[in-house]
Structure 1
Amino acid sequence: MSPRGRGMRAHPFIVGRSDDESAVDRLTSRPDHALVGVIRMPEATSSPVQSIVRRVIGAMLALAASVLIVYLDRDGYRDAAGGELSLLDCVYYATVSLSTTGYGDITPVSPEARLVNVLIITPLRVLFLIVLVGTTLEVLTERSRQAFKIQRWRSKVRDHVVVIGYGTKGRSAVKALLGDDLEPGRIVVVDTDHTALEAASSLGLVTVNGSGTRSDVLRVAGIPRARAIVVAPARDDTAVLVTLTARELAPKAQLVAAVREAENVHLLRQSGADSVVVSSETAGRLLGMATTTPSVVEMFEDLLTPDVGLAIAERDVEQGEVGGSPRHLPDIVLGVVREGRLYRVDAPEADAIEQGDRLLYVKKVSPADR
């Protein structure tokens, strides 16, 4: 069987995808709170001790506010022991009220007893409430926090990057994006594998649980407003279907896709991909070069790794560079991007830099830049 047959057996059935989607509850028609579990917003990680400290501080602030309210309105309160309420009386009343302990049959009368109740008994009550209902309250409020974050994110997300498929290729693409100083919150990962989504969420990425072949899932990921789309599924036929769907929703976004077999490149381009990377041929070339010129492969790895060493980057031309030759610049210029088209540095069109050009060059990355 040919490579095309192995990678594209499902391609003839692409036409029928709308019939399958019509029977599915569209995610785009759901309210934001119903998307909790589908969209996952990144959470700031903290230790259990920090979480408990924050809860205790919140309880103390609530207690202080209650004491202040009672003290300002102390003329409206009566003490069974008689006399006017002191500040200590107000603190005592607030503590027994907030802790839902109640009062009546057994009440501290002396100031010493009330002071013990405030300084010792109340912290124990607060600790008890934290241990008893803290986890339950956290679970109940988590959905509300996620729903609020989802609503805010969907209303503001613009010019982000959507990565469809978080396997080896998708993870490498995300690593490159983060290496180019793109904020993690501006990267959305679409996948159906929960382990992959957990790994993406741990990096601070927004995740969407669903198939990238479904238009409603891609709409939830904000594809129509995305700046760029990375299509990196495991199968070539899936890549074609995802590309078709994504290009229909985002006709102006930069769409790059990866395929395993070179014979399927034209299908990706016909489906709307701006750039196609052949993973198997690229790896094969590097393997072949490594047998004769391993240093060249090492240099390629250095250029493709944005962490340290050398890296390929793109920048706008400076005003003083307009009209000059890219060969005479301090940077090692590889090419000139003009109106979306790349000209190699030895091309006649790249002899003189024009206003609005972008330069593709080699930059040096040090650990201090990270």
Structure 2
Amino acid sequence: MALTLLAAVILIGTVGYVEIEHWPWFDAFYVTITTITTIGGGEPTPMSTGGKMWTVAVVAVGFGVFTYTLLRLFTYALEGRLGNVVLERRTRRRVGKMIEHFILCGFGRVGSEIAHLFTKEGVPFVIVDINADSLRRAAAAGFTTVNGDAAEAETLRAAGVERARGLLAAMDGDEANIYVTLSARVLNPNLFIIARANRRDAEAKLRLAGASRIISPYQIGGRRMASLATRPTAVEFVDTVLLANNSELILEDFVIASGSPWIGRPLSALAPDSGGVIVLAIKRSGEMHFRPSLATQFAERDEIVAAGAPEGIRTLDQRLRSGE
């Protein structure tokens, strides 16, 4: 604001000298600068009475604006705001280049765990939070952050919600997650939204707000503890496949996109050169079909769950994308 005001004063002062004294633009600009800074550098030609009156006005207004601008810049530098502005601009440029990324709203205990797992798997994401301590911790860990209320449309746009692959509402309060989900759904109707619910009654509200999936950390934690108590080896196996960087077996899912050449083709067409990948299930219209037969024909928006070696999974991904 201060810099804009100073620029306006310089522009008006320059135009005034050009009109009154008929000086060249650069000379008029030079005299304006030396006048408002009280340096004084002489005039190209002797001033008329009108020019002298204009100089009085420029000094009266310009010196005050110039002093105010210097004080504002000093304050910004003193409080570290200048560095924050530069950082925000860099972040804005970095986020502006992101496509098919995830927006992580909330960098608490849950959000922090998500961020580290995303980093481990090489998933692009940006963190949105309004808490200064959370933002400092995220920045210290090297994560890209956006400072603001995640429920505000302006903040979500700054995080690239229109280009994002998905959004995770992982804040501590259910109300906050509901508002974030609603705002994100309005801005991007096709966005995949995963929302955290702490209370059971919040789940219905999150569905109405537009959440694609709803996660209850306490419910999942309870189920996991029970599963570990009754079948620890099976749980360890699933963790190894899903969370560990293991080079032997990974689990991945794929979507048959609209217009894909695979629509109408049978599962058996994937068998040649599959690289040992096994199709475990196909999710269609919200229903999971386990151990699909080779005669099963793919349909639009089918979600395929497959397991295999990393190289085989990459080959399957390329084949599904290319239609070969």
TM-score, normalised to structure 2's length? 0.57
> Residue 323 in 1 paired to residue 266 in 2?
yes
Where do residues 261-280 of structure 1 align in structure 2 (5 Å cutoff)? 261-280=199-218
Where do residues 74-223 of structure 1 align in structure 2 (5 Å cutoff)? 142=83, 145-146=86-87, 148-150=89-91, 152-153=93-94, 155-183=96-124, 187-223=125-161
Whole-Å separation in 2 of the counterparts to 1:231 and 1:143: 25
The residue that corresponds to 1:301 in the other structure is: 239
Whole-Å separation in 1 of the counterparts to 2:140 and 2:306: 32
Aligned letter for 1:334?
L
> Residue 361 in 1 paired to residue 306 in 2?
yes
Whole-Å separation in 1 of the counterparts to 2:195 and 2:303: 23
Whole-Å separation in 2 of the counterparts to 1:270 and 1:221: 23
The residue that corresponds to 1:19 in the other structure is: none
Q: Deviation per CA, 1:208-250, whole angstroms, max 9, x where unpaired? A: 1222233332232222332211110112222112211221222
The residue that corresponds to 1:44 in the other structure is: none
> Residue 259 in 1 paired to residue 197 in 2?
yes
Preserved contact between residue 179 and residue 306 of structure 1 (Cα < 8 Å): no
Preserved contact between residue 211 and residue 217 of structure 1 (Cα < 8 Å): yes
Whole-Å separation in 2 of the counterparts to 1:273 and 1:346: 28
Secondary structure at the aligned position of 1:225 is classed as coil
Shift of the 326–255 alpha-carbon distance from structure 1 to 2, 3 Å rule, reads farther
Whole-Å separation in 2 of the counterparts to 1:155 and 1:288: 44
Q: CA deviation at 1:294?
A: 1.6
Secondary structure at the aligned position of 1:226 is classed as coil
Whole-Å separation in 1 of the counterparts to 2:81 and 2:156: 28
Determine which of 181, 202, 208 is the counterpart of 1:243: 181
Moved more, 253-262 or 173-182: 173-182
Moved more, 243-252 or 166-175: 166-175
The residue that corresponds to 2:296 in the other structure is: 352
Greater length-normalized contact order (CA 8 Å, ≥ 6 residues apart)? 1
Aligned letter for 1:172?
E
Whole-Å separation in 1 of the counterparts to 2:219 and 2:308: 27
Secondary structure at the aligned position of 1:299 is classed as helix
Q: Equivalent pairs: percent with the same residue?
A: 23
The residue that corresponds to 2:278 in the other structure is: 332
TM-score, normalised to structure 1's length? 0.51
Shift of the 242–143 alpha-carbon distance from structure 1 to 2, 3 Å rule, reads closer
Shift of the 325–179 alpha-carbon distance from structure 1 to 2, 3 Å rule, reads farther
Secondary structure at the aligned position of 1:359 is classed as strand
Whole-Å separation in 2 of the counterparts to 1:217 and 1:197: 14
Shift of the 326–214 alpha-carbon distance from structure 1 to 2, 3 Å rule, reads same
Q: CA deviation at 1:161?
A: 1.4
Q: Deviation per CA, 1:56-82, whole angstroms, max 9, x where unpaired? A: xxxxxxxxxxxxxxxxxxxxxxxxxxx
